[in-house]
Structure formats: C-alpha cells, structure tokens
Structure 1
Amino acid sequence: MSEHHPVRTWLTDMDGVLVHEEQALPGAAEFIAALQENAVRFLVLTNNSIYTARDLRARLLRSGIDLPEEAIWTSALATAQFLSEQMPGGSAYVIGEAGMTTALHDVGFVMTERDPDYVVLGETRTYSFEAITRAIRLIERGARFIATNPDVTGPSPEGPLPATGSVAAMIRQATGIKPYFVGKPNPLMMRSALNRLEAHSESTVMIGDRMDTDIVAGMEAGLRTVLVLTGSTRRSQIEGYPYRPTRVEDSIADVVPLVSELAPSA
C-alpha cells in the first residue's frame, strides 16, 4: 500500500469493523483517534438505514467510540442524495424508519401514498404486510423502485433477521420490477462518500469486513481496500472470490499504525 499515493482519506464500514452488536471492537476507538490526530479526513459508512447519523453517533459514543455526526454516511443519506439529484422536490412512499424519512425530508422530498414518484424501501424492524402490499401496487402503477441496500439479513443478539434485500426480492417477485440498490456494493455509495469529503479515489482506502459488499464496492470505485477478519468474511473464504483486497488484517487494531505510516506527512 505504501507504494501508492499517500492516504489522505479513509472510509470504513461500521458493523464488523468498529463494532459488533453495539460493542466496540478492540482498536476501534484508537483508530478514530489516530485519524483525528493525523488530521486525516474520514467517513464511517453503513448500509443500515434505520438510524439517523445523530442516532448512530450516540450509539457509537456509548460503546466508547467518539466521532462527529458529520463523519457518518448511511445508505439512507446516500439514497436521499441520489434521489434529490435525479428528481429535485420529488415524492416517495417509504418503507423504513427515521433514518430514511429524515434524510428524504432534509433534501426536500414529500412523503405520500398517492402516486409517488418513487417507492423507497429501507430497513426496519417492523416490516408490515400492509405496507409491502401498498408498495407492490404503487410500483405496478408506475412508481420507480429504489432500495437502500441489498443485504438479505441483518444481525441481532438472537440471530439473523430478514433485511432490505429479502423484502426487495419479495416485491420484485410480485411486480417483476427490479429495484435500484444505492448502498454497498454499489460503488455509487463510495463515490457519494468521496464527493462529500471532496476526496480522490487514488488517495483513499476503504476498510470492510465483507468481500461481497465493502471490498468489491471499494475496488470498483478505484480505492485501495483493507479486509478485517472481525466480521462476516473468514480468511478461508477469500480465495473463493475473483478479486482481492489490497491488504488483509486480523482487526482494526492492526490498521491503527497504518494511519500514520501512510499519511501525507509520513
């Protein structure tokens, strides 16, 4: 990695890299502190669209990780930005929670069940058959189908929960309409994060715990990538993918020394 351009910007996934079930992983707080001490710009990315950036900052702070609200970039924020660029002042029927509805309100979208421009599917812990049925009927009438992310399951203390990708598959089967996913592994989310930081791909590193979302999205966006083994992907699984991360580390703790080593002043 040191043979490339100095690293001026870091992007990192949240779950499986910094936290696991709301508990900070070893080295996470030190990693954020190292970024701040070296005045390196960064964003924490998450496909979770349930919470606002303010909510997530509070949750991370309780785990011992202190970072500003502005350093969090969610699939809900990326989706809202994308839609505001596609159709300024548009309307949407939303299946989701505060993270998604707040982001859309903030970009000037109107929430409606009557002939919306878009059906926007986000993550929620309370998917209802009534809401899914309404989404199907609106899509059949011409509403464009957007989903925040393709993750089929999400974590919980009791085990996996059905997530956005599973519900999107149900709606797709019923309508024959494929959704446009904004979140990872769509490199659009990486590009939107880079634009937010006014950063360049050749001087940015993406850290993630999943080969099929974090690493592939980073690679397709032209970033160097670091896979940490504290989340979804195990070391034995890496060889099964047709692409490779730039670097593999056991945990975020092993990345902390790289912040100073790869910084422009190093």
Structure 2
Amino acid sequence: MSSLLTGRPVETWLTDMDGVLVHEEVPIPGATDFIQALKSSGRRFLVLTNNSIFTPRDLRARLLGSGIDVPEDAIWTSALATAQFLVDQRPQGTAYVVGEAGLTTALHDVGYVLTDRDPDYVVLGETRTYSFEAITRAIRLVAAGARFIATNPDPSGPSQQGLLPATGSVAALISTATGRTPYFIGKPNPLMMRSALNRIDGHSESTVMVGDRMDTDIISGLEAGLRTVLVTTGSTRPEQIETFPYRPTEVVDSIADLVALVSGTDAGAGS
C-alpha cells in the first residue's frame, strides 16, 4: 500500500456503499471489520451513496441488518449533497420534487418549501414508483423556467428482478421533452466529494476514496484531489481498468485488504 501512504498521512476516509460494503443487502467479507477499524482508529469517515431514496437513518438500519454498524451521521447521500448545494445557492428556496423520503426529508431539513406552484427548482431523484403525472408536471415546470437539478446521473440500478430505471434515465426523458439538461449533483461530480469533505472537516490531501466504479467513484475522487482505491467486488472488473484514461492510486481485491491499513498495522500508516 506504499502509494497510498506517500504524502500526507491518511486522516479521513470516504467509501462507497454498494459494491464496496454490500451487494444489495448481503455484506461483502471484510466490510464489518473495515468499518469497525475506522471507528476504533478515531479517524473521521463517511459512507457515500448516489441513492437518494433513503434517509441516513433508513440506510443505517439496512446496513445494521447486514451486520455493518455505521453511525447515522457517517452516511452521506446524493440527496443530502443536493440539499446542501441548493441551500448554498438559494437559501429558503422552493422545489418541486420527484423522489422519495431521502430527498424530501433532506430538502425539508435545510428549510426548503416543496411546491408545484412556480418553484425555484425541479429536483429529480430515484423512486420505485415513477408517476407519469409527476414527470409530466416536472416537464411543464422546467419548460416554464424552473431550474432543473438531478441527484445523480445513474441510468439504472439493480434489483433482485433485474435492472431498474434510475435518475439518469428519467432525467433524459425530461431533457428530451424540454431541451433542458439538469445539473447532476452526485458522483461523478466531484462536488459530491467536496461536500462530503466539508461535512467531516477533511482535506483532499489527507483523504482516501474507496469505490467499485472507475467511472463514478474513482473519477470523482481523482477530480476532487483525493487518493483513490478501486475494489474489484463491484461494477468495474479487473480487465476493464486499463481501458480508462486514468488510474486509481491502488487496486485491491476487496475492502478486507484495507483493514490493516486503517488499523495502523501496515508499516507507515498515518495516524
């Protein structure tokens, strides 16, 4: 792990959730030990997800059901990053939301009013029950001048029955109808990483991002100035790595390979 340990010691960690810690709700071997090592080390960390359906409380419960004990305040979603972006841009604004509790709760918590009457923004996130009426309303509001925001550009997501359309696909539908493209907040936008760093008072020079996708986790970490680790337990397969024009700092088989580094048992680990 020598390349991870060059430069400033690693003081803070960011890690993706799906494909790194869990597959659906099945824990990946080493994930429980990795989170426990982070908590024992005293280092600040966040678990990141582009999914905007669930609140941090929901996600904590889901992870706990998989045997992974992540504090609620150590979970950072694209919904929270979107709410932070909007309140920074336009405090006490209004929004029409197509999404679920993770997104509506995050916007309520920063003081936004949710309305379908001349909103400042149309905010699109994931939902398992996309409504034709809601999408039509979003199209009409965007066409009338509402600013178009989407929590993330993911075109699809997994389910036990197969692929599901996700935010990116529905955003494309609205864009095709209106000629307006949204501003995407979540990965691969490095804004997601920077908002996470701000959340834990971290610095790019001393933070590592762990992810399973070269085209979201690794590129957004790289563009935010972080050291990056790709685990091969998720989306990007080992043989695909060389096809990308950029590289992670390290490639490891799984999150289990990082436990010793976090624990400080690897030679030279920062504290």
* Fold similarity call, TM over 0.5: yes
Secondary structure, counterpart of 1:113 in structure 2 = coil
Structure 1 residues not aligned, in runs of 5+: none
For 1:246 and 1:160, the matched residues in 2 are separated by 31
| Mean Cα deviation higher: 147-156 or 255-264 | 255-264
Q: Give 1:151's aligned amino acid.
A: D
Which of the residues 28, 31, 36 maps onto 1:28?
31
- The residue that corresponds to 2:103 in the other structure is 100
- The residue that corresponds to 1:8 in the other structure is 11
- The residue that corresponds to 2:254 in the other structure is 251
Which of the residues 33, 50, 53 maps onto 1:50?
53
**1:120 has 2:123 as partner:** yes
For 1:2 and 1:164, the matched residues in 2 are separated by 36
Secondary structure, counterpart of 2:153 in structure 1 = coil
4+ residue runs over 2 A deviation: 261-265
- 1:263 Cα deviation from its structure 2 partner: 4.3
For 1:232 and 1:11, the matched residues in 2 are separated by 18
- 1:34 Cα deviation from its structure 2 partner: 0.6
8 Å CA contact 2:56–2:72 kept in 1: the answer is yes
For 1:20 and 1:209, the matched residues in 2 are separated by 11
For 1:17 and 1:4, the matched residues in 2 are separated by 25
Secondary structure, counterpart of 2:10 in structure 1 = coil
**1:241 has 2:239 as partner:** no
- 1:14 Cα deviation from its structure 2 partner: 0.2
For 1:68 and 1:263, the matched residues in 2 are separated by 24
Which of the residues 153, 166, 169 maps onto 1:166?
169
- 1:159 Cα deviation from its structure 2 partner: 1.1
Q: How many residues align?
A: 265
- TM-superposition CA deviations, 1:133-161 (whole Å, max 9, x none): 10000001100000000000001011111
For 1:264 and 1:238, the matched residues in 2 are separated by 28
Task: Tell me the percent identity.
Answer: 75
**1:264 has 2:235 as partner:** no
Structure 2 residues not aligned, in runs of 5+: none
- The residue that corresponds to 2:134 in the other structure is 131
- TM-superposition CA deviations, 1:95-154 (whole Å, max 9, x none): 000000000000000000100000000000001111111000000110000000000000
Which of the residues 74, 87, 90 maps onto 2:90?
87
**1:76 has 2:69 as partner:** no
Which of the residues 17, 21, 29 maps onto 1:18?
21
- 1:5 Cα deviation from its structure 2 partner: 1.1
8 Å CA contact 2:34–2:258 kept in 1: the answer is yes
**1:190 has 2:196 as partner:** no
Which of the residues 197, 212, 230 maps onto 1:209?
212
For 1:21 and 1:191, the matched residues in 2 are separated by 26
8 Å CA contact 1:8–1:263 kept in 2: the answer is no
For 1:76 and 1:67, the matched residues in 2 are separated by 18
- TM-superposition CA deviations, 1:152-181 (whole Å, max 9, x none): 000101111110000001100110001000
- 1:257 Cα deviation from its structure 2 partner: 1.2
